[in-house]
């Protein structure tokens, strides 16, 4: 019995180390379309030459430079949609996210949430 308890404690301690991101399980599924943009791409985008007089565009590129990643997943499967929604709701409750933007379109609500870093 002691070995079982020790094994469970070890597994519970190790699981955060090996855990995937909350949404990684959707990447690569046949009925899910995904767009994933990593830090390297944001770095490349921020190096695009912009007219010095276009302050708004310069602010946009300065913001892009600070992003680490962007993941967008879509599906037409009702089952996967329900799973995505449940995963997102759990993640939002535990990840200390801030609402950046909300769009209501044709009865659908889209929220863009961010997790601010130290920078």
Domain ranges of the chain: 21-114
Please tell me the predicted confidence (pLDDT) of residue 82.
92
What is the secondary structure of 56-80 as a DSSP string?
HHHHHHHHHHT--EEEEEEES-HHH
Q: Could you tell me the pTM of the whole model?
A: 0.62
Res 79: pLDDT: 93
pLDDT of res. 78: 92
What is the pLDDT at residue 57? Answer: 81
Helix, strand, coil percent content, the chain, rounded in steps of 5? 45, 25, 30
pLDDT attached to residue 10 = 36
Instruction: Give the pLDDT confidence score for residue 4 in this predicted structure.
Output: 35
| pLDDT beneath 70, residues of the chain | 1-20, 117-119
């Amino acid at each position: 019995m002691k070995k079982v308890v020790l094994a469970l404690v070890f597994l519970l301690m190790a699981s955060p180390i090996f855990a995937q991101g909350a949404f990684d399980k959707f990447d690569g599924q046949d009925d899910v379309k995904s767009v994933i943009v990593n830090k390297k791409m944001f770095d490349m985008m921020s190096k695009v030459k912009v007219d010095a007089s276009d302050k708004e565009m310069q602010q946009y590129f300065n913001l892009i430079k600070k992003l680490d990643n962007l993941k967008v997943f879509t599906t037409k499967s009702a089952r996967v949609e329900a799973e995505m929604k449940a995963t997102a709701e759990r993640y939002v409750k535990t990840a200390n996210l801030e609402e950046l933007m909300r769009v209501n379109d044709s009865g659908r609500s889209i929220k863009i949430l961010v997790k601010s870093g130290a920078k």
